[in-house]
Amino acid sequence: MGDARILIVALVALFAFDRRFVHANFANDTVPSWGAQNVRISADGENLTLTLNNQTGCRIDTINRFMFGSIEMHIKLVAGNSAGTVTSYYMSSDGSAHDEIDFEFLGNSTGQPYIIHTNVYAQGIGNKEQQFYPWFDPTSGSHNYTIHWNPSEIVWFVDGTPIRVFRNYETLGIPYPSKQAMKAYSSIWNGEGWATEGGRVKIDWRSAPFVAGYARLGLRACVWNDSQCVSTYPSSTLAPDQRTQMATIRDSYMIYDYCRDTTRFDGKTPPECSQPQY
């Protein structure tokens, strides 16, 4: 897709927002792709639970692929002892040099904080993690986790507050997810090898089954039909007050930033880290 076409789609999006794709339904718009026996969709298709038990975890995929969009999901994380479990909500393309945008929720022992883990892969390369503690109890109710992806930036939103931006610096030769359409995925899996305190705390199967609740899937995204976009997506960018909100959250709740992890990359941080972040 050429830059000119991206620009036209973005301009069209400002004026002709296609509401057909706003509200999605799990029964009609997603399909289980792993551990189907642990996927439960409510009769009206509006709510979903994903369960990890001693047999398997599970995953659902959107049927459509998207090229840019705002993909919204409300999630109630596993309550109680969730140590070693990973609940996720992410977008990904296929193949070896894939693109991916992640929200992963790393469980913890009862009373200990979850970690909201974010990452982005461009052309198969990840290693761009940022992690946050939630400023609320993510297990007592549903919260809005939205991935906003457009040609100029990716924004991770939690309950309407942006927590991270990854900007497009392709003009500086830095890979950005801009050429591969992605599906949205939701899953729960056994991550005890790394999830909780770096893999020190294992799953206690006496606490199983581990159940995460999903609702209000919203696909304000451009549907990709294998050759082009056949709808539009919101192209909005952050307002100044949202940037201020984000800075406040990052000051208080960010617990890991790959851009500050100098020991990890032989003393050098990746090139995007020396550019404006948002």
Ligand X SMILES: *[C@@H]1O[C@H](CO)[C@@H](O)[C@H](O)[C@H]1NC(C)=O
Tokens for 193, please give them. 């090898």
Which helix (DSSP H) or strand (DSSP E) does residue 4 occupy? helix 3-15
Taking the chain, what is the end-to-end CA distance rounded to the nearest angstrom?
Answer: 25
Region from 10-18, 168-176, 179-187, 223-231 binding ligand X, contact rule CB under 6 A: 223-231
* Closer of 112 and 277 to ligand X (Cβ): 112
What is the rounded distance in angstroms from the CA atom of residue 179 to the CA atom of residue 171? Answer: 14
* Closer of 81 and 196 to ligand X (Cβ): 196
Q: Looking at 1, 113, 250, 254, which residue binds ligand X (CB under 6 A)?
A: 113
Q: What are phi and psi of 51, to 5 degrees?
A: -120, 140
Tell me the closest approach of the beta carbon of residue 15 to ligand X, in angstroms.
Answer: 18
DSSP letter at 248 equals H
Residue 100 is among the residues annotated as catalytic for this protein: yes
Site for ligand X in 36-95 (CB under 6 A): 42, 45-47, 54, 72, 74
Secondary structure of residue 167 in the 3-state scheme: strand
Site for ligand X in 154-173 (CB under 6 A): 157, 160
* Residue 174 binds to ligand X (criterion: CB under 6 A): no
What is the rounded distance in angstroms from the CA atom of residue 160 to the CA atom of residue 6? Answer: 26
Handedness of CA 29, 35, 37, 40 (dihedral sign): negative
Dump the DSSP string for 22-43: TB--HHHHEEEEE-GGGEEE-T
Q: Looking at 51, 88, 92, 108, which residue binds ligand X (CB under 6 A)?
A: 108
* Closer of 248 and 275 to ligand X (Cβ): 248
* Residue 228 binds to ligand X (criterion: CB under 6 A): yes
Positions that interact with ligand X (CB under 6 A)? 25, 28, 42, 45-47, 54, 72, 74, 106, 108, 112-113, 115, 142, 144, 146, 157, 160, 195-197, 205, 215, 225-228, 230
* Residues assigned a catalytic role: 100, 104
